[in-house]
């Protein structure tokens, strides 16, 4: 397991720790959403409330779960793990729909706020949280969840952490359960975005200005784009390192971006209203 010192030094964690620190300065849940909401969702505004913020998550949860074949009756008895819950934008909705929800995040302060969000807009009695201390390992037993879900999180991790969390998602999902994992892969604008991201992450490390710019929207939007992973890379890593296997594998992508998958037995499908740089891995986990 990666030690804590190593994890603390990783530039990929800077924007989350910076926003997480802001959540610890106190303030109402609405104030916290206004000051940190933009790191979780593009819709921000000086008037945004926690209720409106959670409504954006509810809409996306309903849409994606429906598209992936998980309507209310199917979700009702299940335990769902959300990797990268943040302050609970989607978590509140998951707790309304599932029997149990485990929210996992690299920032412990976010998890505290996540509990607050779910307390106000979801079912706190169905929520537990787990801190991803090293950025790649889940402190959960094998086969402990029915669904492992992650949205706009794995793209922000260092590449090895994203692959590690993907393997962990498979490990903790019971045989017959499902992984629903969202990634980001290459698009043409990366020619500019990737070097800009490297530059910003270097600046974050500089004592004089790092702290200041890590709390700004413009810098974070460049610096947090930490990896690009293709479906083949993720699938190969799981095949090579996981004791379990995947069946019924579907890769979903935007209608505006062609994605080639060379692994056999993988269906490739278009999903409407998916960001053109994103893709989803949807698959059934089978025991070792
Ligand atoms: C863009 S936010 C998305 C939050 C939530 N999924 C949503 O849609 O509102 C990304 C989240 O991933 C978390 N995160 C980033 N790197 C992580 C890692 N290595 N392990 C766990 N969580 C991580 C951040 O702290 C942040 O809460």
Structurally, the chain folds into a number of domains equal to: 1
pLDDT at 9: 66
CA of 116 to the centre of ligand 1 (A): 17
Distance, CA of 175 to CA of 172 (rounded, Å): 9
pLDDT at 8: 56
pLDDT tens sequence across 101-124: 999 999 999 999 999 999 999 999
Which residues contact residue 58 at a Cβ distance below 8 angstroms, ignoring those fewer than 6 apart? Answer: 90, 92, 93, 96
Cβ of residue 156 lying under 6 Å from some atom of ligand 1: yes
Cβ of residue 161 lying under 6 Å from some atom of ligand 1: yes
Distance, CA of 182 to CA of 278 (rounded, Å): 7
Q: Tell me whether residue 205 is in a domain.
A: no
Cβ of residue 103 lying under 6 Å from some atom of ligand 1: no
pLDDT at 20: 87
Q: Tell me whether residue 63 is in a domain.
A: yes
pLDDT at 221: 80
Distance, CA of 256 to CA of 272 (rounded, Å): 9
Enumerate residue ranges in the chain where pLDDT < 70.
Answer: 1-9, 41-45
Q: Closest ligand 1 atom to the C-alpha of 60? A: 8
Which residues contact residue 225 at a Cβ distance below 8 angstroms, ignoring those fewer than 6 apart? Answer: 155, 156, 184, 193, 194, 197
Q: Tell me whether residue 200 is in a domain.
A: no
Q: Tell me whether residue 199 is in a domain.
A: no
pLDDT at 33: 86
Q: Tell me whether residue 202 is in a domain.
A: no
Cβ of residue 98 lying under 6 Å from some atom of ligand 1: no
pLDDT at 3: 46
- According to DSSP H, which parts of 98-144 are helical? 108-121
Structural domain harbouring 40: 4-185+226-286
CA of 264 to the centre of ligand 1 (A): 31
pLDDT tens sequence across 131-180: 999 999 999 999 999 999 999 999 999 999 999 999 999 999 999 999 99
Record the pTM.
0.94
Q: Tell me whether residue 196 is in a domain.
A: no
CATH number of the domain where residue 165 is located: 3.40.50.150
Which residue has its alpha carbon closest to ligand 1 atom 1?
40
Q: Tell me whether residue 33 is in a domain.
A: yes
Q: Tell me whether residue 213 is in a domain.
A: no
């Amino acid at each position: 397991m990666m030690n804590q010192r190593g994890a603390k030094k990783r530039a990929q964690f800077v924007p989350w720790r910076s926003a997480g620190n802001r959540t610890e300065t106190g303030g109402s849940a609405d104030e916290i959403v206004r000051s940190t909401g933009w790191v979780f969702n593009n819709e921000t505004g000086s008037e945004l409330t926690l209720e409106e913020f959670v409504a954006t998550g509810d809409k996306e949860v309903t849409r994606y779960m429906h598209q992936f074949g998980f309507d209310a009756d199917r979700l009702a008895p299940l335990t769902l793990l959300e990797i990268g819950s943040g302050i609970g934008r989607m978590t509140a909705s998951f707790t309304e729909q599932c029997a149990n929800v485990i929210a996992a995040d690299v920032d412990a302060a976010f998890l505290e706020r996540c509990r607050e969000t779910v307390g106000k807009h979801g079912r706190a009695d169905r929520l537990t949280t787990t801190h991803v201390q090293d950025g790649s390992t889940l402190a959960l037993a094998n086969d402990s969840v029915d669904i492992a879900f992650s949205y706009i999180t794995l793209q922000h991790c260092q590449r090895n952490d994203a692959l590690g969390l993907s393997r962990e998602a498979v490990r903790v999902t019971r045989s017959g359960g499902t992984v629903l994992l969202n990634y980001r892969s290459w698009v043409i604008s990366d020619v500019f975005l990737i070097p800009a991201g490297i530059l910003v992450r270097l600046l974050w490390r500089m004592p004089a200005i790092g702290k200041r710019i890590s709390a700004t929207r413009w810098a974070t939007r460049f610096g947090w784009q930490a990896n690009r992973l293709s479906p083949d890379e993720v699938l190969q890593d799981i095949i090579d390192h996981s004791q379990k296997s995947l069946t019924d594998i579907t890769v979903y992508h935007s209608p505006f971006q062609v994605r080639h998958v060379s692994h056999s037995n993988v269906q490739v499908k278009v999903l409407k209203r998916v960001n053109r740089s994103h893709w989803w891995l949807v698959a059934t986990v089978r025991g070792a």
